[in-house]
Amino acid sequence: MASSLDRSQREAAKKKNEAAEERKRVKEDRKNDVQAKKQRKSARTKNKKKSAARYDTRAMMKTMAMSVSILLLVFLILEAVLLIWKAVKFGPGDTSYTNNDTYWHLLNISDTCIGFLVGILAMDILNYFERGQKARRDEERAIIRHNRIVKPAIDMYLARKNSLITPAGEDFKPFQVVTNATPRDLKDLFGPSPINTDSKRMKIATFEYYTKKLNVAFMNMAEDINFDYNPEICDAVLAFINETTYGRSALDSIVAYGDDGNRAVRNSLIRQLKESSDNPDIFEAGDELNTALIVLHMIHAQEDALKKYLDALEELDHASQRRLKKL
């Protein structure tokens, strides 16, 4: 009886501790989410300062200031001519100039300049904001259109990337973006892919195939969109392209190790990966391990770029929804 009571108390205490840990974890996750949102907002504000749209705004404001200055100068010249003419033709206190057609002609020209000044300034401001809003909407539609093509490629890439860094027998999380993979996690890179549609092909081969597919999709996106209003998305896309370009030769070499004629090199690489530490020195590693470390570095850099891209797309979606609600 006492033992069953102790067991129930231990189970209750265990559940209580688990609930407390879960609450603590949720609280930490919320805190991290708030900090991440603040960091993204700060980065977005920083990127806006160097965006092409900001330079276009400055150029537009300079043009508006120039046109207003010219009209204001013409107005001042006409007013000066009017005052000089009145001083030369009429003495002090003489109001007969009001019956002179020349006076009224010069005065009407001055008033017309004031009207032009106000009208052109108002039209420039309205046209600028309308053009800017239209360009922003067009860019957002282009990003969303390209993202519908890129998103499936991202999912395919993530599934193959996570299968590559997940040794056989461990839990496979297909759509995890950021990981803490170590060289030892790559020890099964020549094993069969756990994804049914890959037909048991090597993990490294399927990863290479879908990496190229995603890279091409991002290159098309970077070439077709100017990213005047969303430079953070452009930075993330270009970061992925650059890292893939730098690591492509190493990835091709690893895939070549999987050929039948390179069995000795493949076995040597697998042995080095199993014996490797979590943070090996890339300059002291052997040739095969060095190549694998370059690929692992590329994977981590691609993960960071994809996280920034997905976060920026989420922010863009929220901003678009807020603007639609204001309409």
Q: Nearest to residue 53, comparing CAs of 320, 222, 231, 223?
A: 231
pLDDT score at 167: 84
Q: For residues 177, 181, 187 and 192, what is the CA-based torsion angle, rounded to 10 degrees? A: -10
Residues 6+ apart with CB under 8 A from 177: 158, 303, 306, 307, 310
pLDDT at 286: 75
Q: List Cβ neighbours of 157 (8 Å cut-off, separation of 6 or more).
A: 207, 210, 211, 213, 214
State both tokens at 28. 């930490």
Chain-centre distance for alpha carbon 208: 24
pLDDT of residue 130: 78
Nearest-angstrom CA–CA distance, 184 and 246: 22
Whole-number pLDDT of residue 222:
93
CA–CA distances in Å: residue 223 to residues 134, 217, 239: 20, 10, 14
Q: Return left, alpha or beta for 199; rule: phi > 0 is left, psi -120 to 50 is alpha, else beta.
A: left
Give the residue extent of every domain in the chain: 52-326
Instruction: Quote the tokens at residue 228.
Output: 């005047």
- In tens, the pLDDT along 255-278 reads 888 876 678 888 888 888 888 877
Provide the H-helix boundaries in the chain: 2-49, 52-89, 101-164, 203-224, 231-257, 263-275, 287-326
User: What does the pLDDT read at residue 325?
Assistant: 66
Q: Which pLDDT does position 135 carry in this prediction?
A: 84
Residue 53 confidence (pLDDT) = 60
Sites in the chain below the pLDDT cut of 70: 1-10, 26, 29-57, 59-60, 71, 78, 82, 85-107, 110, 260-261, 282-284, 323-327
Tens-digit pLDDT profile for residues 10-32: 677 777 777 777 777 767 766 66
Residue 39 confidence (pLDDT): 63
Distance CA 77, CA 92 (A): 22
Global pTM reads 0.70
Mean of per-residue pLDDT scores for the chain: 80
